[in-house]
Amino acid sequence: MPSNARILPLVIASALFMEQMDSTIIATSLPAMAADLGVSPTSLKLAFTTYLLGLTVVLPVSGWAADRFGAKTVFRLAIVIFTLASAACGLADSLHWLVVARGVQGIGGALMVPVGRIIVLRSVKKSELLDALAWLTIPALIGPVIGPPVGGYITMTYDWRWIFWMNLPFGVAAFALASWLMPNIKADIPPSLDVKGFLLSGAGLTLTVLGLTVAGRGLFTGPEVVIMIAAGVAFLVAYVAHARRFKAPILDLRLMRIPSYRHSMLGGNLFRIAVGAVPFIMPLMLQLGFGFSPFASGMVTFASAFGALSMKFTVARIVRFFGYRSLLIVNGLLCCATFAAMGFFRATTPFWMMFAVLLVGGFMRSLQFSSLNTLAYADVDRNDIAKANTLYTVVQQLFLAMGVAVAAFLLDFRLWWSGRSALTPADFSFVLFVTAAISALAVISYMKLETDAGASISGHAEEEGESPSGQVTRA
């Protein structure tokens, strides 16, 4: 494989590792941070919320910025913002300081992740995209795996502030590697900034994603969450009306006319609702439903991350062998089966059996994600990559957050329906069964794909004796 398909993803992954590590390491240190700052752990949830706020506001403008100023320039700026904000988080002596610094961190993360993917999509040939994106995500998956134990060790041995300060050497290394090895790709004719669209989409996405994320977590009352989501949806509806009239909208919905992009998005969104619900529901099921300790719960749920990581080494071969359409349908049903299998867990279920189901489920879900995330760009013109990536990333964030809201709503519904005030294991099983059903609906969209969908990436049609254009080729 040409080095470009490995070197660039690994350079970008060095920054994504820092971002992913930071996002998972904080939860372990929450009690120590709260005690040091003199606030309750519940109040510190604002630090998580403001990170999401900064992320969501800036996401829509990331593609435009990459086209206008160059992807390398924006990516390096994102590293600087994230690294300096990390230093500021470590210096925080009050909740307000920490909240503001986390918001700035979110801005850096919003530019870092999608712009890094734009660089890979534009620099690597489509036939090498599966391998390139696998190399891009492997280091990023390691972050969530080692984040919690590293955070616990640092907090107990040194000080919680070092969980932020440890980002500094990663940031310096990522900036140096990006400056040395990364091309500064720009659009041939960069579009003007859609200011009205940016304001409408920013307000809509911020209120909607924030409302979906905090639903069921006690940060806001039920009516406040409903008002927040309703206002966000209203802004998004206004944006859709605006985008239909504007020549170069900041989120270009016309990309949905591309079949492979549309079905990857539509089917993927239903799948992401299910995927977003599982990390929320499983720790609650294990700890509240079965009485597991946080450590024992983590040792079970760790299996999903390990399964996802192991899949990245085989995704390219699997997609090339089966092709996108067959793989998404069959693997989508297998994902549905793993969601349902979790619903049959009981407190008496052997540890190894839970671990095995979550391990296989993590593998299957990661395979589905990787397939969807590459199929989406198979037929997108190179000049439209930034716009396609921005829209895809924004919608992905929205529906993952929706998964948390759906799971929280279903739990509340079960309590209301039964007239109980305490959750039982059966309530969590109900949520997982509904999650499996939502995931199964995604298969309908995959069935509408052409048999040679994404052949420019997978090469599957060519191997069967037919090129992506439909012309017969020689073996």
- Assess whether pLDDT exceeds 60 at residue 266: yes
- What residues form DSSP beta bridges with 466? 472
| Lowest-pLDDT choice from 54-63, 246-255, 461-470 | 461-470
The pLDDT, as a whole number, for residue 32 is 75
Highest mean pLDDT among 176-190, 267-281, 340-354: 340-354
The Cα-based distances of 212 to 22, 315, 420 in angstroms read 22, 31, 24
What is this structure's pTM?
0.79
**Sequence-separated contacts (24+) of 419-427 with Cβ below 8 Å:** 423/284, 423/288, 423/289, 424/289, 425/285, 425/289, 425/290, 425/345, 425/346, 425/347, 427/289
Q: Which of the listed ranges 49-53, 103-107, 140-144, 459-463 does the model predict with the highest average pLDDT?
A: 103-107
Which pair of structure tokens corresponds to residue 224? 């406040």
Which band of pLDDT confidence, cut at 50, 70 and 90, is reported for residue 276? confident
pLDDT at 43: 66
Question: Per residue in 432-475, pLDDT tens?
Answer: 999 999 999 999 999 999 888 878 887 765 444 444 433 333 22
Q: Residue 36: its pLDDT value, please?
A: 84
Looking at residue 254, the DSSP 8-state letter turns out to be G
Q: Please, what is the average pLDDT of the chain?
A: 83
Give pLDDT, residue 359: 92
Q: Residue 341: which pLDDT band, with cuts at 50, 70 and 90?
A: very high
**Distance (Å, rounded) from C-alpha 251 to C-alpha 198?**
8
Over range 45-51, report the average pLDDT: 74
Question: Taking the CB of residue 451, how many other CB atoms lie within 10 A of it?
Answer: 13
Top-ranked range on mean pLDDT: pick from 115-129, 334-348, 441-455: 334-348
> Closest by alpha carbon to 62, among 210, 168, 268, 201?
201
Instruction: Say what the pLDDT of residue 24 is.
Output: 65
Give the whole-number percent of the chain exceeding pLDDT 70.
88
Q: What is the per-residue pLDDT for 238?
A: 95
pLDDT tens digits, residue range 71-91?
A: 889 999 999 999 999 999 999
Task: Select the more confidently predicted residue: 294 or 300.
Answer: 300
Is the pLDDT assigned to residue 6 strictly greater than 70?
A: no
Question: pLDDT value at position 1?
Answer: 38
